[in-house]
Chain A
Amino acid sequence: MPADLLLALSGVLAGAFGAMLGLGGGVLIVPILTFGFGVPLTAAVGTSLVCVIATSTGAAAINVRAGRADVRLGITLAAGTVVGAVTGGVVAGVLPERVIAALFALLLGYTAATMIRSTLRPRPRADDGTPVDPTVADGPSAPSYRRTRVPAAVGGSFLAGNVSGLLGVGGGIVTVPLVHLVMGAPLRVAVATSNFMIGITAAAGAYAYLFRGDVDVRLAAPVVIGVTVGAAVGAVLSARLDTRVLSGIFVLVIGYVAVRMLLLAVGG
Chain B
Amino acid sequence: MTARDAPRRAPELGRWIATVLRAGTLASIGVTVIGYAAAAIAGDAPERAQPLGDALAAGGGHAVMAAGLLALTLVPATMLVVAAGSFARSSERRMLATTLAVIALLAVSVIGSQLIGGGAI
Contact = CB atoms under 8 A, between A and B. Distances in A.
B60 to A, nearest CB: 11
A71 interface: yes
A212 B118 CA distance: 7
Given A204-B106, A207-B113, A221 B73 contact: no
Contacts of B4: 144
17 contacts: A43-B49, A53-B72, A57-B21, A58-B22, A61-B18, A61-B19, A70-B3, A72-B1, A75-B95, A75-B98, A82-B109, A86-B109, A200-B102, A203-B74, A210-B117, A218-B45, A224-B32
A211 B14 contact: no
Contact of B95 (A72, A86, A210, A216): A72
Contacts of B108: 86
A212 B116 contact: yes
A162 B76 CA distance: 18
Interface in B105-121: 105-106, 108-110, 112-114, 116-119
B119 A211 contact: yes
Given A82-B106, A211-B51, A146 B3 contact: yes
A112 B72 CA distance: 30
The secondary-structure label for the interface of chain A is helix
B73 A50 contact: yes
Contacts of B29: 54, 224-225, 228
Interface in A34-88: 43, 50, 53-54, 57-58, 60-62, 64-65, 67, 70-72, 75-76, 78-79, 82-83, 85-86
Interface in A75-106: 75-76, 78-79, 82-83, 85-86, 89-90, 93
A30 interface: no
A147 B52 contact: no
B70 interface: yes
Nearest to B67: A217
Nearest to B105: A82
Contact of A199 (B7, B66, B75): B75
A contact residues, range: 35 or more
A65 B45 contact: no
B53 interface: yes
A204 B105 contact: yes
Contacts of B62: 217-218
Contacts of B3: 70, 144-147
A188 to B, nearest CB: 13
Given A67-B14, A206-B73, A217-B66, A83 B105 contact: yes
A213 B54 contact: yes
Nearest to B62: A217
A222 interface: yes
A254 interface: no
Nearest to B121: A211
Given A58-B21, A208-B117, A221 B109 contact: no
Contact of B69 (A62, A90, A208, A224): A224
Given A206-B73, A210-B73, A211-B52, A200 B106 contact: yes
